[in-house]
């Protein structure tokens, strides 16, 4: 699942000054290039003003970021500290002893550890050890809907999955696509399967898969969730053109904003995306709710899926005074000043002290909804294509697209997943 819309760029861009440290002692920090880098740049400038070892920020274009990261970590130009999604995005590095185990630093500094929401911090843990520190806002997947359309047809946001299916029928009868879906990007379809499995089988099913037990793909709840997803495609819930429409070029968000679709399941960044690109729609029509409950399902209705956060991890080649500087830099992400900067930038931080600062958010009501959603969640399941190693995530994404397009049956999808 993507973190946000990437900015087009063809080369790495570096910023930061050569201050007191300078020379070969400086630390290179990679960030994912988008509008949020202004927050990280300010943090780096503050660090450099007080440290004998400088940090150079390197903005890496979002397109193919993970491939660039893996290539760099396998070569001679690896970053000292780098942006990632936790989970499967770093598991191979952990297996090769390429990352600093941050667990001892959390254990010796309770204030540092307690600065972050536990379910978010845990997403950067591998085998019970921590390898990342949250450095951006939380990104749960949310069911957005067009309040004006709902008012026009006198319907309410769905509380149960049966309610949702009734809404599909209602909007189809009115000639409106019930659900916007940018199926040209596999991760948009993945969101549906993630929530359907979570609500039907509970978080434990995918947690077992993530632990390395591929036989758990054979859990009956996986097949049930897959069949429910296929049923949605066959009943026309996503309209006729979802396979050729994409999110990453803003096409499906525009379609939603134009009133062509009633609902849109998307990461929390969709709100700021609509505010930037369709401000009138965002101001007058855009509403949001949690994914509905599947009655009789084993899942907790408060559980959520998405990107718990983005993280900074430290290359294990960083040692001595440079490692001490790197840890001091990471600890600055736990300070209120950094939390305030993220909020001012429109993000909802993974910080436990964010609650009292949310009124400073550009959209306080939305920020409160997202923050409460995360704080009250018993589990925050990382997007599957970030939770699993890339050797499993890529064929999984391909299989999901094939299932949504009718090339694989639910049974065939399950069989392919068990063979990963």
**SS3 of residue 167 by DSSP:** helix
Helix 186-201 × helix 203-210 angle, to 10°: 120
Instruction: Tell the residue number behind the tokens 């992400």, with chain if given.
Output: 333
Exposed/middle/buried for residue 300 (C-beta within 10 Å: 0-12, 13-18, 19+): middle
Q: What is the pLDDT of residue 24?
A: 62
Indicate if the pLDDT at residue 18 is higher than 50: no
Q: What is the pLDDT of residue 76?
A: 82
Give counts: helices (H), strands (E), the chain.
Answer: 20, 14
For residues 246-275, one letter each, b for 16 or more C-beta atoms within 10 angstroms of the residue's C-beta and e for the rest, the string is ebbebbbbbbbbeebbbbbbbbbbbbbbbb
Phi/psi class of residue 191: alpha, beta or left (left: φ > 0; alpha: ψ in -120 to 50)?
alpha
pLDDT tens digits for range 361-409: 999 999 999 999 999 999 999 999 999 988 899 999 999 999 999 999 9
- Residues 29, 333: Cα–Cα separation, whole Å: 14
Written as one string, the DSSP assignment of 98-153 is -B---HHHHHH-HHHHTTB-HHHHGGGEETTEE--EE-S--EEEEEEEEHHHHHHT
Give every CB contact of residue 317 below 8 A, 6+ residues apart in sequence: 78, 80, 98
pLDDT tens digits for range 142-169: 999 999 999 999 999 999 999 999 999 9
List the one residue out of 46, 106, 112, 117 whose CA is nearest residue 334. Answer: 112
**Structure token pair of residue 253:** 């968000």
**Structure token pair of residue 127:** 């085998």
Q: What is the pLDDT of residue 12?
A: 42
Q: What is the pLDDT of residue 33?
A: 87
Give the pairing of strands 125-126 and 286-289: unpaired
Q: What is the pLDDT of residue 1?
A: 58
Q: What is the pLDDT of residue 387?
A: 92
**CB neighbours (10 Å) of residue 171?**
23
Q: 389-395: long-range contacts (C-beta < 8 A, 24 or more apart)?
A: 389/88, 389/91, 389/92, 390/66, 390/70, 390/88, 390/89, 390/92, 392/88, 392/420, 393/88, 395/420
Identify whether the C-beta of residue 48 lies closer than 8 Å to the C-beta of residue 17.
yes
Q: What is the pTM of this model?
A: 0.87
Q: What is the pLDDT of residue 64?
A: 77
Indicate if the pLDDT at residue 4 is higher than 80: no
pLDDT tens digits for range 35-87: 779 999 999 999 999 999 999 999 998 777 888 998 999 888 899 999 999 99
First to last CA, the chain: 19
Q: What is the pLDDT of residue 17?
A: 36
Q: What is the pLDDT of residue 36?
A: 78
pLDDT tens digits for range 189-244: 999 999 999 999 999 999 999 999 999 999 999 999 999 999 999 999 999 999 99
pLDDT tens digits for range 330-363: 999 999 999 999 999 889 999 999 998 999 999 9
Who has greater pLDDT, 299 or 389?
A: 299
Q: What is the pLDDT of residue 20?
A: 30
């Amino acid at each position: 699942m993507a973190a946000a819309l990437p900015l087009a760029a063809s080369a790495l861009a570096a910023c930061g000054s050569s201050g007191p440290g300078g020379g070969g002692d400086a630390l290179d920090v990679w960030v994912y290039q988008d509008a949020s880098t202004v927050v990280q740049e300010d943090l780096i400038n503050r660090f450099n003003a007080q440290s004998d070892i400088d940090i150079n920020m390197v903005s890496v274009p979002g397109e193919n970021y993970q491939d660039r990261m893996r290539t760099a970590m396998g070569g001679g130009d690896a970053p000292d500290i780098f942006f990632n999604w936790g989970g499967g995005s770093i598991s191979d590095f952990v297996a090769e002893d390429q990352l600093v185990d941050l667990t001892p630093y959390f254990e010796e500094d309770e204030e540092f550890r307690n600065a972050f929401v536990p379910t978010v911090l845990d997403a950067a843990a591998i085998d019970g050890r921590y390898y990342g520190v949250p450095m951006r806002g939380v990104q749960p997947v949310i069911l957005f809907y067009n309040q004006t359309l709902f008012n026009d047809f006198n319907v309410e946001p769905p509380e149960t999955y049966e309610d949702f299916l009734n809404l599909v029928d209602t909007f189809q009868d009115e000639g409106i696509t019930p659900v916007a879906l940018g199926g040209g990007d596999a991760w948009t379809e993945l969101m549906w399967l993630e929530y359907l499995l979570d609500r039907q089988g509970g978080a434990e099913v995918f947690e077992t898969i993530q632990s390395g037990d591929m036989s758990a793909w054979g859990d009956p709840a996986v097949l049930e969730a897959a069949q429910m997803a296929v049923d949605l495609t066959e009943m026309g819930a996503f309209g006729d053109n979802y396979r050729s429409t994409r999110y990453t070029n803003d096409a499906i968000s525009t379609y939603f904003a134009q009133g062509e679709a009633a609902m849109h399941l998307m990461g929390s960044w969709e709100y700021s995306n609509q505010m930037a690109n369709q401000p009138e729609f965002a101001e007058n029509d855009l509403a949001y709710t949690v994914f509905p409950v599947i009655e009789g399902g084993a899942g907790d209705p408060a559980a959520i899926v998405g990107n718990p956060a983005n993280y900074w991890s430290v290359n294990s080649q960083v040692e001595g005074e440079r490692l001490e500087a790197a840890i001091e830099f990471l600890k600055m992400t736990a300070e209120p000043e950094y939390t305030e900067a993220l909020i001012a930038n429109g993000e909802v931080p993974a910080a436990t002290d964010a609650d009292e600062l949310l009124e400073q958010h550009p959209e306080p009501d939305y920020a409160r909804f997202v923050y409460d959603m995360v704080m009250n969640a018993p589990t925050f399941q990382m997007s599957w294509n970030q939770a699993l190693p890339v050797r499993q995530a890529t064929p999984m994404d391909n299989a999901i697209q094939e299932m949504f397009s009718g090339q694989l049956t639910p049974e065939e999808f399950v069989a392919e997943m068990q063979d990963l």
